[in-house]
Amino acid sequence: MTDTLLPTLADAATLLDGEPIAEVAPAARRTRQARVAWGSHVVTVGGDAPVRVQAMTNTDTVQVIETAIQVKELALAGSELVRITVNTPEAAAAVPHIRDQLDRMGIDVPLVGDFHYNGHRLLTEYPACAEALSKYRINPGNVGRGEKGDRQFAQMVEVACRYDKPVRIGVNWGSLDQELLKALMDANAKRSQPWELKQIMYEALVRSAIDSAQSARDVGLDPNQILLSCKMSAVQDLIAVYRGLARRCDYALHLGLTEAGMGTKGTVASAAALSVLLQEGIGDTIRVSLTPQPGEARTQEVVVALEILQSLGLRHFNPSVTACPGCGRTTSTVFQDLTKQIDDFLRSQMPVWRERFPGVEGMKVAVMGCIVNGPGESKHADIGISLPGTGEAPSAPVYIDGERVLTLRGDNIAGEFQAIVEQYIERRYGAATAAH
């Protein structure tokens, strides 16, 4: 390999003669669009809709108030669809009451029912439940075997057709259709060059989803009202399967790494898997399946999902705070404290600001620890502060829209900077509201 000699700066005429480095952005999505409706509200999924965030409760659905409160928390955190377990007659009977409670609390979020094994019975025997839910999740791996399974699957889809509900056909690695898997294994044994075992598993997942979607269409379900998912627990497997799924169908896809795990592991694994696929234009809704740490709020899975979409530039939910990691040039913790204070402040204000200051979610704030990258990064942000590193003069220049506008000194830099951020938001984003 030979090095390419770049022209020197003195050679201005030829400085930009090469190919520019291409910008990157997530590829466009090209799926059908489902309508998830309740009352007079509709959330569209797929097609030109933004990638939606979903979450799932971990309360006992029979506990109406407890479940409604958790749905509310998840919705306020940013979940646009919330799934609840519907596993018993008592749970099915509770569903309409949960919907009523949410309506009374003014929580505009659709409820998705998660059915396994007995969904055919619950949906047919509890019509109020079938009606109150806005979408059904069916796992084709556990609807029953053979003809009985086909009949039970059809029963659930008939209910979806009757009430015009979309259905997610959600295949899981852990509950794969064993008959289909056996048939594929038998077919593989007859091949002169058999596929790898993993490739057979991938094929079984994708086929189970697509064949079930065809069965649902045969029953009469509108193809736009079908969503698919093939969840797996290993990052590379998930990427492989979703690429295959996206190549073979145009249904809206729900994306998630199942059983991602707890804390940092679950967060990083989900971000790694989902980011690769979302960048390729694959995925119309996402869920981050985090196991909550003891005492951790269920809403953490929503926080992570929002951050994944915002990091990729797919959506903006909260102003972003750029902060340096700190190093030996700044031994003080001032910039850490200030970063946390500003971040907490912006997040806490967003439920109000979203209405009052349209566009504020796209704002960029920089909090930097010293002069090395502080001024440069602050100039790239809408508003930024460069704090003094060790040995630097005890002053903190503030930059607004790329210009240095003032310098803060003294003991209350944090408080003064927060006030400046508030004034900036009022001035820049308040104008849009005032004009209406």
Q: Which of 298, 373, 382 has the alpha carbon at shortest distance from 335?
A: 373
Contact pick of 170, 283, 319, 374 for ligand SF4 (by CB under 6 A): 374
Determine, following the binding rule CB under 6 A, whether residue 326 of this chain makes contact with ligand SF4.
yes
Backbone phi and psi for residue 83, each to the nearest 5 degrees, phi listed first:
-95, 140
Q: Tokens standing for 226? A: 């079908």
Rg (CA), the chain: 26
Q: Which of 405, 406, 367, 365 has the alpha carbon at shortest distance from 388?
A: 367
Determine, following the binding rule CB under 6 A, whether residue 375 of this chain makes contact with ligand SF4.
no
Closer residue to ligand SF4 (CB): 215 or 332? 332
Q: Which one-letter DSSP state was computed for residue 192? A: S
Q: Which stretch binds ligand SF4 (CB under 6 A): 85-93, 207-215, 322-330, 426-434?
A: 322-330
Determine, following the binding rule CB under 6 A, whether residue 373 of this chain makes contact with ligand SF4.
yes
Determine, following the binding rule CB under 6 A, whether residue 329 of this chain makes contact with ligand SF4.
yes
Give me the least distance between CB of 421 and ligand SF4, in Å please.
19
Give me the least distance between CB of 379 and ligand SF4, in Å please.
13
Closer residue to ligand SF4 (CB): 323 or 408? 323
d(CA 370, CA 329): 7
Question: Any bridge partners for residue 386, and if so which?
Answer: 368
Q: Which stretch binds ligand SF4 (CB under 6 A): 174-182, 211-219, 313-321, 324-332?
A: 324-332
Give me the least distance between CB of 313 and ligand SF4, in Å please.
24
Determine, following the binding rule CB under 6 A, whether residue 338 of this chain makes contact with ligand SF4.
no
Q: Which of 203, 196, 205, 269 has the alpha carbon at shortest distance from 233?
A: 269
Closer residue to ligand SF4 (CB): 95 or 368? 368
Burial 133-156 (b: 16+ CB within 10 A, else e): bbbbbbbbbbbeeeeebeebbbbb
Whether the CB-CB separation of 259 and 248 falls below 8 Å is answered with no
d(CA 111, CA 32): 21
Contact pick of 53, 245, 324, 385 for ligand SF4 (by CB under 6 A): 324
Number of residues interacting with ligand SF4: please give it, by CB under 6 A. Answer: 13
Determine, following the binding rule CB under 6 A, whether residue 368 of this chain makes contact with ligand SF4.
yes
Determine, following the binding rule CB under 6 A, whether residue 327 of this chain makes contact with ligand SF4.
yes
Closer residue to ligand SF4 (CB): 27 or 327? 327
Closer residue to ligand SF4 (CB): 113 or 389? 389
Give me the least distance between CB of 366 and ligand SF4, in Å please.
10
Question: Any bridge partners for residue 318, and if so which?
Answer: none
Question: Up-side HSE of residue 20: CA atoms within 13 Å toward CB?
Answer: 3
Determine, following the binding rule CB under 6 A, whether residue 146 of this chain makes contact with ligand SF4.
no
Give me the least distance between CB of 409 and ligand SF4, in Å please.
19
d(CA 346, CA 385): 16
Whether the CB-CB separation of 283 and 277 falls below 8 Å is answered with yes
Question: Any bridge partners for residue 171, and if so which?
Answer: 230
Beta strands 395-400 and 383-386: pairing type? antiparallel
DSSP string, 32-62: -EEEEEETTEEEEEETTSPPEEEEE--S-TT
Closer residue to ligand SF4 (CB): 252 or 370? 370
d(CA 319, CA 347): 8
Closer residue to ligand SF4 (CB): 220 or 402? 402
Closer residue to ligand SF4 (CB): 175 or 373? 373
Determine, following the binding rule CB under 6 A, whether residue 112 of this chain makes contact with ligand SF4.
no
Pattern 339-358, ligand SF4, x by CB under 6 A: --------------------
Contact pick of 369, 384, 388, 397 for ligand SF4 (by CB under 6 A): 369
Determine, following the binding rule CB under 6 A, whether residue 149 of this chain makes contact with ligand SF4.
no
Give me the least distance between CB of 323 and ligand SF4, in Å please.
8
Contact pick of 161, 234, 350, 372 for ligand SF4 (by CB under 6 A): 372
Burial 327-336 (b: 16+ CB within 10 A, else e): eeebeeeebb
Backbone phi and psi for residue 193, each to the nearest 5 degrees, phi listed first:
-125, 90
Closer residue to ligand SF4 (CB): 334 or 420? 334
Inter-CA distances, 371 with 367, 376, 412, 436, Å: 12, 9, 20, 42
Closer residue to ligand SF4 (CB): 283 or 369? 369
Question: Any bridge partners for residue 403, and if so which?
Answer: 400
Q: Could you say which residues in the range 218-237 bind ligand SF4, by CB under 6 A?
A: none
Determine, following the binding rule CB under 6 A, whether residue 62 of this chain makes contact with ligand SF4.
no
> Contact positions toward ligand SF4, by CB under 6 A?
324-327, 329-330, 368-370, 372-374, 389
